[in-house]
Amino acid sequence: MTRPYRIASTLAAMLALAACTGKPDAAGSKAGDILAMNRDTTVHPGDDFFSYANGGWIKQNNIPNEESSWGIGNLVVDENLNRLKTINLEAAKAHAAAGTPQQKIGDFWATAMDSTGIEKAGLAPLQPYFASIDSLNDIKGLPALVARFDQLGVGSIISMFVAQDAKNSDAYALQFWQSGLYLPEREYYLKTDSTSLNILKTYQQLVARFLTMSQLPEAEANTQAAAILKLETAMARVHRKLADLRDPYHNYNKMSTAALFKLAPALQVDQYFKILNVPKADTVIVGQPEYYKELNTLVTSTPVATWKAMLRFRLIDNFTEALPDTFGIEKFKFSRLLSGAKERKPRWKRVLRNEESVMGELLGQLFVKEYFNATAKQRYENLVEAIRGAYKTRIEKLSWMSDSTKQKALQKLAAIKKKVGYPDKWKDFSSLQIGTASYVQNLINGNQFWWQYNLNKLGKPVDRNEWDMTPQTYNAYYNPSNNEIVLPAGIFTVPGHRDEDLDDALVYGYAGASTIGHEITHGFDDEGRQFDKEGNLKNWWSDEDGKKFNDRAEVMVRQFNNYVVVDTFKINGKATLGENIADLGGILLGWDAFQQTEQYKKNEPISGISPAERYFLGYALGWLGQTRPEALRNQVLTDVHSPAKFRVNGPFADVDAFYSTYKLTPANKMYLADSARVRIW
């Protein structure tokens, strides 16, 4: 089960790197100075810093056909994927003893890569589940079938999970979230522009195609595909908007289980619990009660044949990669509308993506042994403390915050827990069964393992040492309930460069600002600031300070609302506010910390670039790349992160040190008057 409660993450370009050696002749003595080589010096840095910093590389590197975007992040991911591929190939050759990590990894890989066997099996691995759908005769049996499919990893209309209680972070709670949509976000169902209408039309065709390919008569498949789209559109109308999901109080609705049963009697939640062996729970937290109220109506008003067709489609779609290739090809044709990619990724990359979802931390144990040692772990822990120290000083000097709120902010900052590289204690995968029966069965076993793993938390003490990402993940996050930042080993990679070849300026911009400072600032963004030092949803701000924060944040909302991304699609300043605040905060903290280094104090240029300039170029390097228009449109509608270009140019326009470093004047396109700049942290 994916936990839908927000974990603020860096997503595609939150890169980090290595030791702060401060060598004056570093920055790629063997590979060349990456910061100098990537520039497009025909662009003025004050007009479009993203293009100035990265434009040289972008001009020389087209987006590969299999990708929706291409940049340094993809290079890092590819490097790590090749490392994981080596681990898998070695495990497959080892024929290790049953139950060992190598046996599970090796068998998963060998079975998933056996395309001949998968083609021969056809839809046979799904036949028992088709039979259970066919046996559904009335609506009363729907919740039970939904429950069984949820266990298989086939989500549909109910999103139930166990997570920390936002107002009592020491306890796990049973929680419900809005669900039911196949497309990434409600707006896809409700927008009436030609692009959105084409996506809906093509989605309906995909549903009909999958139903027909699973032996449903063509006429019935077409009828049910139209009915499914109508049903999902009705659900979308009661889904909360992306920006509204960022209000933790509005999405915290605690009620008795009896009240939930009454809210949606047609869902028979008590039977749903019984089938899933849910431990006794007196209360639940419902994120969006209006969704479940409307779902209750839709369950009774929608013909059972449509529900059966929806579950049939979701079953096929969920296991597409483990079925004959014709299914994967059909799904890819549709996904191109959202990603812009022209070709499917090779099979081995698709297999690794599924394998990571099943046993990513098991792979991670082998990954860190080979590619991330204890010395590197300590190095990044030290960098975290340098950034924390810079934030402490910045809070102490705030002119707009009262002393009482400052003290609580400082207490929360000091309490932030750092997790760097990999867990101190690994998850136990001994009960996960992986064999050679079928690719589908291995995926089902994995889904069932994780479903039970999550459910087993209910009623037990909160494990604050748990990681929600694997060590090899190219990402990072702040978890408000634990008041922690988590920095997996996978982000500490710079392709083509060794750690010791990187100067402090590059490191403090690239890692200190865009990852570490960014994640720490999430504890104090528009959403994170509403949690206290113990991770509880609790107001620790004075009314006056809270108003001052919101007024200053509103300046950022207005700034980003004006950025046009592609066509008429603009950034949603409210939905992206937390990430934009974290970007700006990270840049300011990284800069403050960098000024304490020897490189900054000596002010010796490298490749003719001053340390101050290298800091800003280092930050921009983390966003190096380009994205197809289709993917940009999708990002604007579905993502709380602004597109890469605006994660550079947007916050830089608010940083005074950027103006002084590059001598900006009102004639420059990025210039904002001092009164229009965002002043929060």
Evaluate if residue 643 carries a pLDDT over 70: yes
Q: How many residues can be counted in the chain?
A: 681
Q: How far apart are CA 121 and CA 117, in angstroms?
A: 6
Reported confidence tier of residue 409, pLDDT bands at 50, 70, 90? very high
| pLDDT (average), residues 29-33 | 62
Q: What's the one-letter identity of residue 370?
A: E
User: In angstroms, what CA-CA distances link 7 with 133, 388, 528, 680?
Assistant: 35, 20, 10, 22
Can you give the pTM of this predicted structure?
0.89
CB 20 within 8 A of CB 615: no
Helix (H) or strand (E) holding 176: strand 168-177
Q: How far apart are CA 510 and CA 491, in angstroms?
A: 11
Chain centroid offset of residue 212 CA: 33
Going along the chain from its start, the domains and CATH numbers come out as: 8-84+375-425+466-676 (3.40.390.10), 123-322 (1.10.1380.10)
Token reading at 157: 């209309």
What is the reported pLDDT for 653?
98
Token reading at 443: 């995926």
What is the reported pLDDT for 20?
27
Q: Give alpha helix (H) positions in 372-419.
A: 374-396, 403-415
| pLDDT (average), residues 2-17 | 29
User: In angstroms, what CA-CA distances link 63 with 49, 254, 631?
Assistant: 21, 47, 12
| pLDDT (average), residues 407-423 | 96
Q: What percent of the chain has pLDDT over 90?
A: 89
What is the reported pLDDT for 13?
29
Q: Which of 274, 268, 325 is nearest to 292 (CA)?
A: 268
| pLDDT (average), residues 47-61 | 97
Q: Give alpha helix (H) positions in 340-373.
A: 347-371
Reported confidence tier of residue 295, pLDDT bands at 50, 70, 90? very high
574 contact partners, CB below 8 Å, separation of at least 6: 243, 246, 557, 561
| pLDDT (average), residues 661-673 | 98
First-last CA distance in the chain: 36
Reported confidence tier of residue 31, pLDDT bands at 50, 70, 90? low
Q: Is 603 left (phi over 0), alpha (psi -120 to 50) or beta?
A: left
What is the reported pLDDT for 379?
79
User: In angstroms, what CA-CA distances link 339 with 59, 69, 199, 611?
Assistant: 21, 8, 12, 37
pLDDT single digits (tens) 506-562: 989 999 999 999 999 999 999 999 999 999 999 999 999 999 999 999 999 999 999
Evaluate if residue 21 carries a pLDDT over 50: no
Give the side-chain half-sphere CA count within 13 A for 482. 22
Count Cβ atoms below 10 Å from residue 13 Cβ, excluding itself: 23
DSSP state of 638: H
pLDDT single digits (tens) 369-380: 888 877 778 878
Reported confidence tier of residue 3, pLDDT bands at 50, 70, 90? very low
Give the lowest-confidence range in 10-14, 70-74, 191-195, 511-515.
10-14
| pLDDT (average), residues 90-109 | 95
User: In angstroms, what CA-CA distances link 291 with 4, 158, 237, 238, 260?
Assistant: 15, 10, 9, 6, 12
| pLDDT (average), residues 131-152 | 96
Evaluate if residue 310 carries a pLDDT over 80: yes
pLDDT single digits (tens) 104-118: 999 999 999 999 999
Reported confidence tier of residue 489, pLDDT bands at 50, 70, 90? confident
Q: How far apart are CA 122 and CA 120, in angstroms?
A: 6
| pLDDT (average), residues 61-75 | 94
| Burial class of residue 370 (count of CB atoms within 10 Å of its CB; 0-12, 13-18, 19+) | exposed
| pLDDT (average), residues 453-474 | 95
Strands 569-570 and 564-566: antiparallel
Task: Tell me the average pLDDT of the chain.
Answer: 92
Token reading at 178: 């809005």
